[in-house]
Amino acid sequence: MSNTPKPRTIAVLGARAVGKSSLTIQFVENHFVDSYYPTIENTFNKVIRFRGQEFAAEIIDTAGQDEHSILNSTHAVGIHGYVLVYSVTSRQSFEMMKIIRDKILAYAGTEWVPMVLVGNKTDLHMQRQLSADDGKALATQWNCACTEASAKHNENITRIFELMIAEIEKTLNPNSEDMGSCTII
């Protein structure tokens, strides 16, 4: 086995304020950001150890999207996989998932790219507008991985990026074990 971590570039996309930066920072720096600073664009690096291998992840935390946002080339060229984030407290952010996925596929010119669908903010029980099954149904339709998560409580945050690596590895090593299953907390 080679000791050099394999470079993997991951873009985190979704509507505004769903927690893209919070879950990225929780994963990379192990703390929760309570205040809200809208992102322009940030890149984070972290070595992910997964299934006995090391991956040098470059994680691109992008600006929140709306229906009119244009996917620029830095979100499409050289990206190995996409983390698509919505908030379980916002049906509108869930609807945005379809719009963003369509843009990614149109840009990529393929029918499938490695993707993990993430329903964040599960700690906000009273404000839930989407069930775990809503996310799971969409992920099944798209043949992608999914999980719910809470950046605040650090629940399933590592899992997001492990699922992402597994989805990417599926395309690079098509014969490896299928690991794209959903986890529901």
Ligand X SMILES: Nc1nc2c(ncn2[C@@H]2O[C@H](COP(=O)(O)OP(=O)(O)OP(=O)(O)O)[C@@H](O)[C@H]2O)c(=O)[nH]1
List residues binding Mg ion (CB under 5 A).
20-21, 39
The shares of helix, strand and coil residues in the chain, as percent rounded to the nearest 5, are 35, 30, 40
Residue 132 CB, nearest approach to ligand X (Å):
15
User: Contact letters (x/-) for ligand X, 74-103, by CB under 6 A?
Assistant: ------------------------------
Q: Which is nearer to ligand X, 136 or 150 (CB)?
A: 150
Total residues contacting ligand X by CB under 6 A comes to 23
Of positions 28, 99, 124, 184, contacts ligand X by CB under 6 A: 124
Closest to 163 measured CA to CA, from 43, 32, 51: 51
Q: What does the DSSP assignment read for 109-131?
A: TSS---EEEEEE-TT-GGG--S-
Asked if residue 114 lies in contact with residue 167, where contact means CB atoms within 8 angstroms, the answer is yes
Residue 27 CB, nearest approach to ligand X (Å):
12
How far the first Cα of the chain sits from its last, in Å, is 34
Residue 151 touches ligand X, criterion: CB under 6 A: yes
